[in-house]
Protein backbone atom coordinates (compact mmCIF):
# COMPACT_ATOMS: atom_id res chain seq x y z
CA UNK A 1 0.00 0.00 0.00
CA UNK A 2 1.32 3.36 -0.91
CA UNK A 3 0.95 6.98 0.02
CA UNK A 4 2.61 9.47 -2.27
CA UNK A 5 2.01 12.27 0.25
CA UNK A 6 4.12 10.98 3.15
CA UNK A 7 7.45 12.77 3.65
CA UNK A 8 10.20 10.65 5.17
CA UNK A 9 10.61 13.06 8.08
CA UNK A 10 7.10 12.43 9.33
CA UNK A 11 8.19 9.14 10.89
CA UNK A 12 10.45 10.79 13.45
CA UNK A 13 10.07 13.84 15.61
CA UNK A 14 12.56 16.70 15.42
CA UNK A 15 14.18 15.35 18.55
CA UNK A 16 14.95 12.12 16.73
CA UNK A 17 12.46 10.06 18.71
CA UNK A 18 10.44 7.42 16.98
CA UNK A 19 7.10 8.45 15.59
CA UNK A 20 4.21 6.10 15.00
CA UNK A 21 2.55 4.55 12.01
CA UNK A 22 -0.52 6.59 12.91
CA UNK A 23 1.34 9.90 12.88
CA UNK A 24 2.93 9.01 9.55
CA UNK A 25 -0.18 8.22 7.56
CA UNK A 26 -3.11 9.62 9.51
CA UNK A 27 -5.43 11.46 7.16
CA UNK A 28 -3.45 10.53 4.07
CA UNK A 29 -4.57 8.19 1.32
CA UNK A 30 -2.34 5.22 0.57
CA UNK A 31 -2.10 4.29 -3.07
CA UNK A 32 -2.99 0.73 -4.04
CA UNK A 33 -0.62 -0.55 -6.71
CA UNK A 34 -0.67 -4.32 -7.11
CA UNK A 35 -2.41 -7.53 -6.17
CA UNK A 36 -0.57 -9.34 -3.37
CA UNK A 37 -1.99 -12.75 -2.61
CA UNK A 38 0.08 -14.91 -0.24
CA UNK A 39 1.85 -12.48 2.07
CA UNK A 40 5.54 -12.61 3.02
CA UNK A 41 6.91 -12.20 6.55
CA UNK A 42 10.63 -11.40 6.68
CA UNK A 43 12.70 -11.50 9.84
CA UNK A 44 15.04 -8.58 10.48
CA UNK A 45 17.91 -8.83 12.94
CA UNK A 46 21.37 -7.52 13.75
CA UNK A 47 23.22 -5.72 12.43
CA UNK A 48 20.34 -3.33 11.78
CA UNK A 49 19.75 -3.17 8.02
CA UNK A 50 20.07 0.16 6.26
CA UNK A 51 16.92 1.94 5.18
CA UNK A 52 17.80 1.32 1.53
CA UNK A 53 18.02 -2.43 2.16
CA UNK A 54 14.58 -2.47 3.79
CA UNK A 55 13.21 -0.53 0.83
CA UNK A 56 14.52 -3.27 -1.47
CA UNK A 57 12.79 -5.93 0.64
CA UNK A 58 9.49 -4.05 0.35
CA UNK A 59 9.88 -3.72 -3.41
CA UNK A 60 10.60 -7.45 -3.64
CA UNK A 61 7.33 -8.30 -1.90
CA UNK A 62 7.76 -8.29 1.89
CA UNK A 63 4.57 -7.09 3.59
CA UNK A 64 5.40 -7.80 7.24
CA UNK A 65 8.74 -7.49 9.06
CA UNK A 66 9.37 -9.70 12.07
CA UNK A 67 11.47 -8.59 15.03
CA UNK A 68 12.64 -10.50 18.12
CA UNK A 69 12.14 -7.95 20.94
CA UNK A 70 14.69 -9.87 23.03
CA UNK A 71 17.63 -9.17 20.72
CA UNK A 72 20.33 -6.54 21.07
CA UNK A 73 19.90 -3.33 23.00
CA UNK A 74 16.94 -1.01 23.23
CA UNK A 75 18.81 1.36 20.90
CA UNK A 76 19.26 -1.46 18.38
CA UNK A 77 15.51 -2.04 18.40
CA UNK A 78 14.75 1.66 18.04
CA UNK A 79 17.15 1.84 15.10
CA UNK A 80 15.44 -1.16 13.53
CA UNK A 81 11.96 0.30 13.91
CA UNK A 82 13.22 3.58 12.48
CA UNK A 83 14.71 1.80 9.46
CA UNK A 84 11.40 0.05 8.79
CA UNK A 85 9.35 3.19 9.29
CA UNK A 86 11.53 5.37 7.09
CA UNK A 87 11.70 2.72 4.37
CA UNK A 88 7.93 2.31 4.51
CA UNK A 89 7.46 6.05 4.16
CA UNK A 90 9.96 6.31 1.32
CA UNK A 91 8.29 3.44 -0.54
CA UNK A 92 4.86 4.79 0.39
CA UNK A 93 4.01 1.37 1.81
CA UNK A 94 2.12 0.42 4.97
CA UNK A 95 4.00 -2.65 6.14
CA UNK A 96 3.25 -4.54 9.33
CA UNK A 97 5.68 -5.07 12.21
CA UNK A 98 5.44 -8.47 13.92
CA UNK A 99 6.93 -9.01 17.38
CA UNK A 100 7.99 -12.67 17.38
CA UNK A 101 8.59 -14.05 20.88
CA UNK A 102 10.88 -17.08 21.18
CA UNK A 103 9.55 -20.47 22.23
CA UNK A 104 10.89 -21.39 25.67
CA UNK A 105 9.60 -23.01 28.82
CA UNK A 106 11.76 -20.61 30.82
CA UNK A 107 10.91 -17.06 29.73
CA UNK A 108 12.69 -15.75 32.81
CA UNK A 109 15.88 -16.83 31.03
CA UNK A 110 15.00 -14.33 28.33
CA UNK A 111 14.62 -11.64 30.96
CA UNK A 112 18.08 -12.49 32.33
CA UNK A 113 19.56 -11.95 28.86
CA UNK A 114 18.48 -8.31 28.98
CA UNK A 115 20.75 -5.97 30.93
CA UNK A 116 19.14 -4.35 33.97
CA UNK A 117 19.86 -0.98 32.38
CA UNK A 118 17.83 -2.04 29.35
CA UNK A 119 14.58 -2.54 31.24
CA UNK A 120 12.57 -5.73 30.79
CA UNK A 121 11.13 -7.68 27.89
CA UNK A 122 7.75 -6.22 28.82
CA UNK A 123 9.03 -2.64 28.56
CA UNK A 124 10.53 -3.43 25.15
CA UNK A 125 7.23 -4.79 23.91
CA UNK A 126 5.40 -1.80 25.34
CA UNK A 127 7.78 0.43 23.40
CA UNK A 128 7.24 -1.48 20.16
CA UNK A 129 3.47 -1.36 20.50
CA UNK A 130 3.67 2.37 21.16
CA UNK A 131 5.45 2.99 17.85
CA UNK A 132 2.96 0.96 15.85
CA UNK A 133 3.77 -2.77 15.91
CA UNK A 134 0.54 -4.30 14.62
CA UNK A 135 1.08 -8.02 15.30
CA UNK A 136 2.58 -10.06 18.12
CA UNK A 137 3.19 -13.83 18.16
CA UNK A 138 3.16 -15.34 21.66
CA UNK A 139 4.02 -19.01 22.36
CA UNK A 140 1.01 -20.82 23.78
CA UNK A 141 2.76 -21.68 27.03
CA UNK A 142 1.39 -20.98 30.51
CA UNK A 143 3.71 -18.75 32.53
CA UNK A 144 3.66 -15.35 34.19
CA UNK A 145 5.89 -13.54 31.68
CA UNK A 146 3.87 -14.50 28.61
CA UNK A 147 0.63 -13.82 30.47
CA UNK A 148 1.84 -10.31 31.29
CA UNK A 149 2.74 -9.78 27.63
CA UNK A 150 -0.71 -11.01 26.62
CA UNK A 151 -2.38 -8.60 29.05
CA UNK A 152 -0.28 -5.72 27.73
CA UNK A 153 -1.06 -6.50 24.10
CA UNK A 154 -4.78 -6.74 24.83
CA UNK A 155 -4.68 -3.10 25.94
CA UNK A 156 -4.19 -2.35 22.24
CA UNK A 157 -7.45 -3.68 20.74
CA UNK A 158 -6.31 -3.32 17.11
CA UNK A 159 -3.11 -5.33 17.64
CA UNK A 160 -3.36 -8.91 16.38
CA UNK A 161 -2.22 -11.55 18.88
CA UNK A 162 -1.13 -14.79 17.20
CA UNK A 163 -0.76 -18.06 19.07
CA UNK A 164 2.59 -19.64 18.26
CA UNK A 165 1.96 -23.35 17.73
CA UNK A 166 5.08 -25.28 18.75
CA UNK A 167 4.05 -28.40 20.69
CA UNK A 168 1.90 -31.50 20.48
CA UNK A 169 -0.36 -30.05 23.17
CA UNK A 170 -0.89 -26.93 21.05
CA UNK A 171 -2.08 -29.09 18.17
CA UNK A 172 -4.68 -30.81 20.36
CA UNK A 173 -5.77 -27.52 21.88
CA UNK A 174 -5.97 -25.63 18.56
CA UNK A 175 -9.80 -25.22 18.55
CA UNK A 176 -9.66 -23.57 21.98
CA UNK A 177 -6.58 -21.52 21.06
CA UNK A 178 -8.41 -20.09 18.05
CA UNK A 179 -11.24 -18.96 20.32
CA UNK A 180 -8.77 -16.84 22.29
CA UNK A 181 -6.13 -15.73 19.78
CA UNK A 182 -6.53 -13.67 16.61
CA UNK A 183 -4.67 -16.19 14.45
CA UNK A 184 -1.78 -18.66 14.43
CA UNK A 185 1.92 -18.84 13.64
CA UNK A 186 2.83 -22.45 12.84
CA UNK A 187 6.38 -23.03 14.11
CA UNK A 188 7.22 -26.16 12.14
CA UNK A 189 10.79 -26.34 13.45
CA UNK A 190 9.64 -26.80 17.04
CA UNK A 191 6.76 -29.04 16.00
CA UNK A 192 9.19 -31.39 14.25
CA UNK A 193 10.94 -31.91 17.59
CA UNK A 194 7.66 -32.64 19.36
CA UNK A 195 5.91 -34.96 16.90
CA UNK A 196 7.06 -37.52 14.31
CA UNK A 197 8.60 -35.54 11.47
CA UNK A 198 6.47 -37.36 8.89
CA UNK A 199 3.35 -35.98 10.60
CA UNK A 200 4.34 -32.32 10.18
CA UNK A 201 2.84 -31.79 6.68
CA UNK A 202 -0.52 -33.24 7.74
CA UNK A 203 -0.56 -31.18 10.93
CA UNK A 204 0.43 -28.06 9.00
CA UNK A 205 -2.48 -28.52 6.61
CA UNK A 206 -4.92 -29.23 9.44
CA UNK A 207 -3.91 -26.09 11.36
CA UNK A 208 -4.24 -23.96 8.22
CA UNK A 209 -7.70 -25.34 7.50
CA UNK A 210 -8.83 -24.64 11.06
CA UNK A 211 -7.71 -21.02 10.70
CA UNK A 212 -9.54 -20.69 7.39
CA UNK A 213 -12.72 -22.08 8.93
CA UNK A 214 -12.42 -19.58 11.79
CA UNK A 215 -11.66 -16.68 9.45
CA UNK A 216 -8.35 -15.96 11.21
CA UNK A 217 -4.93 -15.38 9.61
CA UNK A 218 -2.19 -18.00 9.71
CA UNK A 219 1.55 -17.81 9.09
CA UNK A 220 3.50 -20.90 8.08
CA UNK A 221 7.09 -20.74 9.35
CA UNK A 222 10.15 -22.95 9.53
CA UNK A 223 13.19 -23.14 7.21
CA UNK A 224 11.43 -21.70 4.17
CA UNK A 225 13.96 -21.32 1.33
CA UNK A 226 16.79 -22.05 3.76
CA UNK A 227 18.83 -23.45 0.84
CA UNK A 228 19.33 -19.86 -0.33
CA UNK A 229 21.79 -19.44 2.51
CA UNK A 230 24.30 -21.48 0.50
CA UNK A 231 23.06 -21.13 -3.06
CA UNK A 232 21.67 -18.52 -5.43
CA UNK A 233 18.84 -20.88 -6.36
CA UNK A 234 16.49 -22.68 -3.96
CA UNK A 235 16.42 -26.45 -3.84
CA UNK A 236 13.50 -28.23 -5.47
CA UNK A 237 12.48 -29.42 -2.03
CA UNK A 238 12.34 -25.85 -0.74
CA UNK A 239 10.21 -24.73 -3.69
CA UNK A 240 7.79 -27.61 -3.15
CA UNK A 241 7.66 -26.86 0.59
CA UNK A 242 6.59 -23.27 -0.03
CA UNK A 243 4.09 -24.27 -2.71
CA UNK A 244 2.52 -26.86 -0.39
CA UNK A 245 1.87 -24.20 2.26
CA UNK A 246 0.33 -21.86 -0.33
CA UNK A 247 -1.90 -24.54 -1.85
CA UNK A 248 -2.93 -25.59 1.67
CA UNK A 249 -4.32 -22.07 2.08
CA UNK A 250 -1.86 -20.25 4.34
CA UNK A 251 -2.23 -16.48 4.54
CA UNK A 252 1.49 -15.84 4.81
CA UNK A 253 4.83 -17.60 4.60
CA UNK A 254 7.75 -16.74 6.86
CA UNK A 255 11.07 -16.39 5.04
CA UNK A 256 13.75 -18.44 6.75
CA UNK A 257 16.16 -16.39 8.84
CA UNK A 258 18.97 -18.26 7.08
CA UNK A 259 17.66 -17.11 3.70
CA UNK A 260 17.22 -13.53 4.88
CA UNK A 261 20.83 -13.53 6.08
CA UNK A 262 22.19 -15.00 2.84
CA UNK A 263 24.08 -13.14 0.17
CA UNK A 264 20.98 -11.71 -1.49
CA UNK A 265 18.10 -11.24 0.97
CA UNK A 266 16.07 -9.07 -1.42
CA UNK A 267 16.49 -11.77 -4.04
CA UNK A 268 15.25 -14.35 -1.52
CA UNK A 269 12.10 -12.30 -0.95
CA UNK A 270 11.57 -11.95 -4.70
CA UNK A 271 12.03 -15.70 -5.21
CA UNK A 272 9.55 -16.45 -2.44
CA UNK A 273 7.09 -14.05 -4.06
CA UNK A 274 7.49 -15.79 -7.43
CA UNK A 275 6.81 -19.20 -5.90
CA UNK A 276 3.82 -17.84 -3.98
CA UNK A 277 2.26 -16.33 -7.10
CA UNK A 278 2.71 -19.47 -9.16
CA UNK A 279 1.38 -21.74 -6.41
CA UNK A 280 -1.66 -19.47 -5.96
CA UNK A 281 -2.77 -20.42 -9.48
CA UNK A 282 -3.25 -23.98 -8.18
CA UNK A 283 -5.77 -22.96 -5.53
CA UNK A 284 -9.29 -24.26 -6.22
CA UNK A 285 -11.50 -21.77 -8.05
CA UNK A 286 -14.42 -22.84 -5.85
CA UNK A 287 -13.18 -23.12 -2.24
CA UNK A 288 -15.08 -25.76 -0.21
CA UNK A 289 -15.66 -23.16 2.53
CA UNK A 290 -18.05 -21.28 0.23
CA UNK A 291 -20.57 -24.10 0.51
CA UNK A 292 -20.27 -24.36 4.29
CA UNK A 293 -22.03 -22.44 7.04
CA UNK A 294 -19.99 -19.44 8.31
CA UNK A 295 -17.97 -20.22 11.44
CA UNK A 296 -20.08 -18.14 13.83
CA UNK A 297 -23.08 -17.48 11.58
CA UNK A 298 -22.78 -13.75 12.26
CA UNK A 299 -24.28 -11.07 10.03
CA UNK A 300 -20.82 -9.86 9.03
CA UNK A 301 -19.58 -13.35 8.12
CA UNK A 302 -22.71 -14.06 6.10
CA UNK A 303 -22.33 -10.74 4.27
CA UNK A 304 -18.66 -11.46 3.49
CA UNK A 305 -19.59 -14.88 2.12
CA UNK A 306 -22.27 -13.39 -0.09
CA UNK A 307 -19.82 -10.81 -1.45
CA UNK A 308 -17.44 -13.53 -2.64
CA UNK A 309 -20.31 -15.58 -4.10
CA UNK A 310 -21.43 -12.53 -6.07
CA UNK A 311 -18.00 -12.23 -7.71
CA UNK A 312 -18.51 -15.73 -9.11
CA UNK A 313 -22.04 -15.17 -10.33
CA UNK A 314 -21.52 -11.81 -12.05
CA UNK A 315 -18.80 -10.11 -14.06
CA UNK A 316 -17.33 -8.40 -11.00
CA UNK A 317 -13.82 -6.97 -11.21
CA UNK A 318 -13.08 -6.26 -7.54
CA UNK A 319 -14.38 -6.21 -3.97
CA UNK A 320 -14.27 -3.02 -1.89
CA UNK A 321 -14.90 -3.48 1.82
CA UNK A 322 -15.15 -0.65 4.34
CA UNK A 323 -13.79 -1.87 7.65
CA UNK A 324 -12.99 -0.29 11.01
CA UNK A 325 -11.24 -3.24 12.67
CA UNK A 326 -10.35 -5.52 9.74
CA UNK A 327 -12.79 -8.30 10.66
CA UNK A 328 -14.82 -8.12 7.46
CA UNK A 329 -11.72 -8.14 5.27
CA UNK A 330 -10.39 -11.22 7.05
CA UNK A 331 -13.69 -13.03 6.54
CA UNK A 332 -13.45 -12.30 2.82
CA UNK A 333 -9.79 -13.39 2.70
CA UNK A 334 -10.53 -16.91 3.91
CA UNK A 335 -12.38 -17.65 0.66
CA UNK A 336 -9.36 -16.73 -1.49
CA UNK A 337 -11.40 -14.60 -3.93
CA UNK A 338 -10.14 -14.47 -7.50
CA UNK A 339 -10.58 -10.69 -7.78
CA UNK A 340 -8.68 -7.88 -6.03
CA UNK A 341 -9.94 -6.95 -2.56
CA UNK A 342 -9.48 -3.40 -1.31
CA UNK A 343 -10.04 -2.91 2.43
CA UNK A 344 -10.74 0.76 3.10
CA UNK A 345 -10.05 1.91 6.66
CA UNK A 346 -9.31 5.10 8.56
CA UNK A 347 -7.12 3.18 11.03
CA UNK A 348 -3.45 2.84 9.95
CA UNK A 349 -2.71 0.07 12.46
CA UNK A 350 -5.65 -1.94 11.10
CA UNK A 351 -4.20 -1.53 7.61
CA UNK A 352 -0.81 -2.77 8.85
CA UNK A 353 -2.41 -5.84 10.45
CA UNK A 354 -4.27 -6.63 7.22
CA UNK A 355 -0.91 -6.98 5.47
CA UNK A 356 -0.97 -10.47 6.98
CA UNK A 357 -4.25 -11.53 5.33
CA UNK A 358 -4.30 -13.31 1.98
CA UNK A 359 -5.12 -11.12 -0.99
CA UNK A 360 -6.17 -8.07 1.06
CA UNK A 361 -4.81 -4.68 0.02
CA UNK A 362 -5.51 -2.03 2.67
CA UNK A 363 -6.29 1.54 1.68
CA UNK A 364 -6.03 4.19 4.40
CA UNK A 365 -8.30 7.23 4.10
CA UNK A 366 -8.78 10.33 6.20
CA UNK A 367 -10.71 9.87 9.42
CA UNK A 368 -14.30 11.00 9.04
CA UNK A 369 -14.51 10.21 5.33
CA UNK A 370 -18.01 9.47 4.06
CA UNK A 371 -19.01 6.11 2.62
CA UNK A 372 -19.15 7.63 -0.86
CA UNK A 373 -15.70 9.18 -0.48
CA UNK A 374 -14.22 5.86 0.65
CA UNK A 375 -15.71 4.02 -2.31
CA UNK A 376 -14.48 6.71 -4.68
CA UNK A 377 -10.94 6.48 -3.27
CA UNK A 378 -10.95 2.73 -3.87
CA UNK A 379 -12.40 3.13 -7.37
CA UNK A 380 -9.77 5.71 -8.24
CA UNK A 381 -6.85 3.45 -7.41
CA UNK A 382 -8.48 0.44 -9.10
CA UNK A 383 -8.95 2.53 -12.23
CA UNK A 384 -5.43 3.96 -12.08
CA UNK A 385 -3.96 0.46 -12.03
CA UNK A 386 -6.17 -0.78 -14.85
CA UNK A 387 -8.24 -3.19 -12.78
CA UNK A 388 -11.53 -1.47 -13.67
CA UNK A 389 -12.83 0.68 -16.51
CA UNK A 390 -16.00 2.75 -16.91
CA UNK A 391 -19.02 0.48 -16.55
CA UNK A 392 -17.18 -2.35 -14.76
CA UNK A 393 -18.89 -3.78 -11.68
CA UNK A 394 -17.44 -3.92 -8.19
CA UNK A 395 -18.93 -5.42 -5.04
CA UNK A 396 -19.13 -2.99 -2.12
CA UNK A 397 -19.35 -4.38 1.42
CA UNK A 398 -20.20 -2.02 4.30
CA UNK A 399 -22.37 -1.49 7.34
CA UNK A 400 -25.69 0.34 7.08
CA UNK A 401 -26.47 2.92 8.39
CA UNK A 402 -22.87 3.94 7.66
CA UNK A 403 -20.89 4.73 10.80
CA UNK A 404 -23.65 3.43 13.06
CA UNK A 405 -24.15 -0.23 12.22
CA UNK A 406 -22.68 -2.77 14.66
CA UNK A 407 -22.31 -5.33 11.88
CA UNK A 408 -21.32 -5.17 8.22
CA UNK A 409 -24.74 -5.96 6.82
CA UNK A 410 -24.88 -4.50 3.32
CA UNK A 411 -23.46 -5.84 0.06
CA UNK A 412 -24.19 -4.16 -3.28
CA UNK A 413 -22.94 -4.18 -6.85
CA UNK A 414 -21.78 -0.79 -8.08
CA UNK A 415 -20.88 0.12 -11.66
CA UNK A 416 -17.82 2.32 -11.85
CA UNK A 417 -18.50 5.68 -13.46
CA UNK A 418 -22.22 5.01 -13.92
CA UNK A 419 -24.44 7.30 -11.86
CA UNK A 420 -28.20 7.75 -11.73
> For residue range 154-175, what is the model confidence (pLDDT) as tens digits?
999 999 999 999 999 999 999 9
Please report which helix (H) or strand (E) contains residue 126, including its range.
helix 121-130
Predicted confidence (pLDDT) per residue in 188-214, tens digit: 999 999 999 999 999 999 999 999 999
Strands laid side by side in the 316-322 sheet: 360-364, 341-345, 316-322, 393-398, 410-415
CATH homologous superfamily for 288-415? Pyruvate kinase, C-terminal domain (3.40.1380.20)
- pLDDT for 21 equals 45
Q: Which residue has the higher pLDDT, 414 or 2?
A: 414
Q: Which of 285, 274, 280, 279 is nearest to 309 (CA)?
A: 285
- What pLDDT, on a 0 to 100 scale, did the predictor assign at position 141? 85
* H-only helix segments in 186-326: 188-194, 200-214, 236-248, 257-260, 265-280, 299-313
Alpha helices in 314-347 (DSSP H): 327-333
pLDDT digits (tens, 9 = 90+) for 268-282: 999 999 999 999 999
Q: Which of these ranges, 105-109, 136-140, 365-369, 390-394, has the smallest mean pLDDT? A: 105-109
Confidence of residue 14 (pLDDT cuts 50, 70, 90): very low
Task: Give the model's pLDDT for residue 319.
Answer: 96
Gap between the Cα atoms of 162 and 180, Å rounded: 9
Instruction: Kindly indicate the confidence band of residue 293, based on its pLDDT and cuts at 50, 70 and 90.
Output: low
How far apart, in whole angstroms, are the C-alpha atoms of residue 107 and residue 59?
36
Task: Compute the distance between CA of residue 142 and CA of residue 105 in angstroms, rounded to an integer.
Answer: 9
The tens digit of pLDDT for each residue in 222-243 reads 999 999 988 889 999 999 999 9
- Residue 353: what pLDDT? 96
Rounded mean pLDDT, 179-191: 96
Sign of the alpha-carbon dihedral angle for 10, 15, 16, 19: negative
| Predicted TM-score of the model (pTM) | 0.88
Identify the pLDDT of residue 145. Answer: 83
CATH number of 38-280: 3.20.20.60
Q: What are the φ and ψ backbone dihedral angles of 316, each rounded to 5 degrees?
A: -95, 135
Could you give the C-alpha distances from 275 to 229, 256, 279, 360, in angstroms and in order? 17, 14, 6, 18
Measured distance CA(163)–CA(127) in Å, rounded: 21
Q: Which pLDDT tens digit goes with each residue over 112-158?
A: 555 554 567 888 999 999 988 999 999 998 888 888 899 999 999 99
Average pLDDT over residues 390-417: 80
**What residue segments make up the domains of the chain, in order of their start?**
38-280, 288-415
User: Using CB atoms within 10 A of its CB, is residue 180 exposed (0-12), middle (13-18) or buried (19+)?
Assistant: exposed
Q: What is the DSSP-derived secondary structure letter of residue 50?
A: P
Which residues does residue 84 pair with via DSSP β-bridges, in sequence order?
none
Distance CA 374, CA 362 (A): 12
Percent of the chain with pLDDT strictly greater than 90: 61
In this prediction, residue 26 has a pLDDT band, given cuts at 50, 70 and 90, of very low
Measured in whole angstroms, the distance separating CA 397 from the mean position of its chain's CA atoms is: 21
d(CA 340, CA 387) in angstroms, rounded, equals: 8
Render pLDDT for 53-108 as a digit per residue (tens, 0 to 9). 999 999 999 999 999 998 889 999 999 999 999 998 898 888 999 999 988 766 55
Amino acid sequence: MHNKNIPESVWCSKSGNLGTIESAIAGRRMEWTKIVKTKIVMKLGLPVPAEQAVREYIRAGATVFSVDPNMGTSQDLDDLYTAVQQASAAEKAAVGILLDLPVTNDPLRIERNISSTEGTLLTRIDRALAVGAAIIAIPVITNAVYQAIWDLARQHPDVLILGKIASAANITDCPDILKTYDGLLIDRDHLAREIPVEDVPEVEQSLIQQCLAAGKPVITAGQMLSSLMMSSRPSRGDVTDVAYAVVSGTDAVYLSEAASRGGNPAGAVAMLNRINNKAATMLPSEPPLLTQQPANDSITETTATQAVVMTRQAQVKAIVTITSAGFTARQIARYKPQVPVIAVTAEPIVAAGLQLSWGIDPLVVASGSSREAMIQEAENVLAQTGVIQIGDAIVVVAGYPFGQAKDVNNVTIHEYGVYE
